[in-house]
Structure 1
Amino acid sequence: MKAWPALAILIIQGILFLAHWFVYFTWIAFWPSLAPAAGVDLRVVMLVLAFSFVVASLLSFRYSNFAVRFIYWLAAVWLGFLNFFFWTSLIVWLVWFALRLFHLAANPGAIRPLLASVFYAIASLAGIYGLFNARVIRIRRIAVQLPNLPASWRGRRAVFFSDLHLGPINGVRFCRRLVSMASGFRPDIVFLPGDLFDGTKGDLDHLLAPFQALAPPFGIFFSTGNHEEFTSPAHYIEAIRRAGIRVQANEQVLIDGLQIAGVLYHASTSPLRMKAAIDALRPSGSSFDRSQPGILLNHAPTRLPIVEQAGFSLQLSGHTHGGQFIPFTWITRSIFGPFTSGLHRFGTLQVYTSTGAGTWGPPMRVGSAPEIVLLTFE
């Protein structure tokens, strides 16, 4: 294993270990009965859980079978609950200190367990809600006006969905469900801006098989996301092409007067690489035509000044998941601002960032919702 991935795994594992220790410490402090009765057992359980997600992830990169998928699902679900339990532990301690500071805890022995029970019950309900909410896919209907749009494109529809994360949790049934929903709109074209796969091992052709039932007149277009580029993206790209999906790897195509381009995720990770990728775009040997509308598939809602300067009318992105669940919904918005989700303008450029159809890690959504976007060109 290379040094950087190994270091990243160690850092993640260290963070998870500390989070589990803090939750365990809080539980013992607020529910003292756990210490003598089940303290040792609880320590063992928490230790196993602390390593569960990293171990399950490593297994999923090497193996693809029911046992590994089930272990990964359990570990991912627990990781989601751990998130809520960790932040709840912080809140419980803050509330407890406030009660003691203002002398509001008349009977500490009775209040501590009650206080913890109320807050952890809320956290548990949030996790359960998140599990169900992540499976309810919303339909977003958006009308977009593109300058100089040919009359032949007016009224035509595109289906756009990102971040399926096909893998141990979101399998072929999930893909079939999305394709069925998309087919129901009878789209003229389909856009997939990245993270089609979770980056784990699996039968890629089997996972993509449902796309064979989706045959829009102008095709299906894909650009890579970070999860396709964790390792060499070649085998993902080959599988995607075998499924009849056109991969826009720093290239573009002209369809009936509408320019459609896509950049590799790696290209968007620095301004210099992004500019070089866009400068190299060539449809049929000619340079980008500013007099014609252009759509760019760029996995992350980044490098907007470069994209606008190049003359694109619309960028379609994903990546953010809308933060997926609290508190990352707030953290993500602090990073990407209004471009975390929805349709927004950056000068003359319109940017739609999808919250994505799938999930990564915990199969939960709290504060965000999965979506498929139906675009109507005007």
Structure 2
Amino acid sequence: MPLWQIIPSLLTISFVVTTLLGFHQANALVRIVYRVSAIWMGVLSFTFFASVVCWFIYVPLTLLDLRADPRLIVVVVFGLAFFACVCGLVNAAWIRVTRITVKLPNLQEAWRGRSAALVTDLHLGNVRDHPFTRRVVARLQRLQPDVVFISGDMFDGTKADLDWLVAPWSKLSVPRGTYFVTGNHEEFTNRNKFLDAIGKTGIRVLNNEKVEVDGLQIVGVHDGEAGEPQTLRAVLQSTQLDDRRPSILVAHQPSNLAIAAEAGISLQLSGHTHGGQIWPWSWVAALVHGRFNYGLNRLGALQVFTSSGVGTWGMPMRLGTKAEIVLLRFEAAEEEER
């Protein structure tokens, strides 16, 4: 069998093997092979759909008895597919800032005009590591938000030097604190090791609890509990929310939203979906999560903002989505009625 036929198969198998090995071993070889094979998986995705497009072009032209050079079709379509791969790699590495204004009912004067940064889905591990964290923190320092919320998947869940991966966070100074809850990737194994590493940086871990900052109620629920409807309801009830003041729920996934709405939460901040990360999986994500796949949406009085995240999972590419830090500016809902 020619080498060009063997390499693609080896890379595909390598992605699966290094994904599994990554939970047990942390070394340069695993990281390098994982990164190369993860890029290959992105190439495989685009070239698979390119081959489908080639047939959709060639077959109708043949049935209509129109002359078509199959080689030209393949060169053009696969050329576009490889161009999309390059664009996807560049786009995933390009961190942008999404600015949005959120109007909250009964917002205290102290919070009017203040800003909060939402950072989610860094997926630190075999692809994104210490330098990536440093870039994210540097961007936050330039934005100077009043508070930072990290809604899970700080880590990819693989074995790594966790303290080194998150060390740059210790240099971030935010007036009203930085708050974290776990995502599903921190829940793959015992989450305590991840929480310990994050806690060493000075980030406040919200362990299914409420804190109050200048009158604003901030509730954080870990993904393991937020994914269970009865547990989430019990946690929110235990916080004894004051419905006369606004509240923010930090939870990784935009799920069980009816329970958050029932509890009187004003705003939920989530990630997880990546917006689908690359086309056409963005369509799949939209089917699964509906309108809560990305952006600011409502369920009754509850507002939900879902970020596409700043990192990537698996293939380090984005197409049709963006790597983002979200900067929310708070205003009082009453201002809209005047």
TM-score range, shorter chain: over 0.9
Aligned match of 1:96: 58
User: C-alpha offsets along residues 191-227 of structure 1, whole Å, 9 cap, x if unaligned?
Assistant: 0000000111111111111111112122110111011
Aligned match of 1:361: 314
Unaligned runs of 5+ in 1: 1-38
For residue 279 of structure 1, report the CA deviation from its aligned partner. 2.2
Alignment partner of 1:114 is 2:69: no
Retained in 1: the 8 A contact 2:179–2:205?
yes
Aligned match of 1:249: 207
User: C-alpha offsets along residues 243-288 of structure 1, whole Å, 9 cap, x if unaligned?
Assistant: 11111122111122111011111223242232233223x3xxxx12
In structure 2, C-alpha distance between the alignment counterparts of 1:47 and 1:145, rounded to whole Å: 52
In the alignment of these two chains, the number of paired residues is 331
For residue 86 of structure 1, report the CA deviation from its aligned partner. 1.1
In structure 1, C-alpha distance between the alignment counterparts of 2:108 and 2:72, rounded to whole Å: 65
For residue 67 of structure 1, report the CA deviation from its aligned partner. 2.4
For residue 102 of structure 1, report the CA deviation from its aligned partner. 2.0
Aligned match of 2:224: 266
Aligned match of 2:122: 164
Letter of the structure 2 residue corresponding to residue 301 of structure 1: P
In structure 2, C-alpha distance between the alignment counterparts of 1:69 and 1:163, rounded to whole Å: 19
Residue of structure 2 aligned with 1:277, choices 235, 244, 250: 235
Larger radius of gyration: 1
Residue of structure 2 aligned with 1:298, choices 228, 243, 251: 251
Q: Percent identity?
A: 46
- State TM-score, norm by structure 2: 0.94
In structure 2, C-alpha distance between the alignment counterparts of 1:260 and 1:351, rounded to whole Å: 14
For residue 127 of structure 1, report the CA deviation from its aligned partner. 0.5
Aligned match of 1:144: 102
For residue 176 of structure 1, report the CA deviation from its aligned partner. 0.5
More helix by share: 1
**Equivalent runs, 1:326-337 vs 2, <5 Å:** 326-337=279-290
**Equivalent runs, 1:161-240 vs 2, <5 Å:** 161-240=119-198
Aligned match of 2:36: 74
For residue 62 of structure 1, report the CA deviation from its aligned partner. 2.1
In structure 2, C-alpha distance between the alignment counterparts of 1:223 and 1:186, rounded to whole Å: 21
For residue 40 of structure 1, report the CA deviation from its aligned partner. 2.9
- State TM-score, norm by structure 1: 0.84
In structure 2, C-alpha distance between the alignment counterparts of 1:141 and 1:47, rounded to whole Å: 43
In structure 2, C-alpha distance between the alignment counterparts of 1:47 and 1:183, rounded to whole Å: 44
- Which has the larger displacement, 74-83 or 42-51? 42-51
In structure 2, C-alpha distance between the alignment counterparts of 1:152 and 1:121, rounded to whole Å: 55
Residue of structure 1 aligned with 2:3, choices 41, 45, 48: 41
Unaligned runs of 5+ in 2: 332-338
For residue 170 of structure 1, report the CA deviation from its aligned partner. 0.8
Question: What secondary structure, in the 3-state scheme, does the structure 1 residue paired with 2:88 have?
Answer: helix
For residue 113 of structure 1, report the CA deviation from its aligned partner. 2.0
Letter of the structure 2 residue corresponding to residue 326 of structure 1: W
Letter of the structure 1 residue corresponding to residue 300 of structure 2: G
In structure 1, C-alpha distance between the alignment counterparts of 2:230 and 2:65, rounded to whole Å: 59
Aligned match of 2:335: none
Higher relative contact order (CA 8 A, sep 6+): 2
